[in-house]
């Protein structure tokens, strides 16, 4: 791995570039970029308590929305046809 690619991957790891930006710079697909990150032990996604809290809040909001739309039928297929 060249110094430039190493620096680029480290910049991704610090949050300075998105996956898409790195893929464009390297002229590769996002999938290839993910594999490169894996190869160099750089996490593709960082999960911290703030991120998890946001995800749980979004889940609860969506869960409530689905329950309201479903009513008592619990018909998932019907819900997704309406969305």
pLDDT tens figures, 27-66: 999 999 999 999 999 998 877 788 888 888 888 777 766 6
Tokens 């909001």 belong to 61
Tokens 């697909």 belong to 29
Q: What is the pTM for the complete model shown?
A: 0.55
Q: How far apart, in whole angstroms, are the C-alpha atoms of residue 63 and residue 69?
A: 10
pLDDT band at 7 (very low <50, low <70, confident <90, very high): very high
């Amino acid at each position: 791995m060249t110094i430039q690619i190493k620096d680029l991957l480290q910049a991704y790891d610090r949050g300075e570039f998105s996956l898409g930006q790195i893929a464009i710079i390297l002229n590769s697909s996002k999938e290839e970029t993910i594999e490169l990150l894996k190869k160099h032990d750089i996490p593709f996604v960082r999960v911290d308590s703030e991120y998890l809290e946001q995800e749980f809040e979004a889940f609860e909001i969506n869960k409530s929305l689905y329950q309201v739309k479903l009513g008592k039928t619990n018909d998932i297929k019907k819900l997704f046809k309406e969305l």
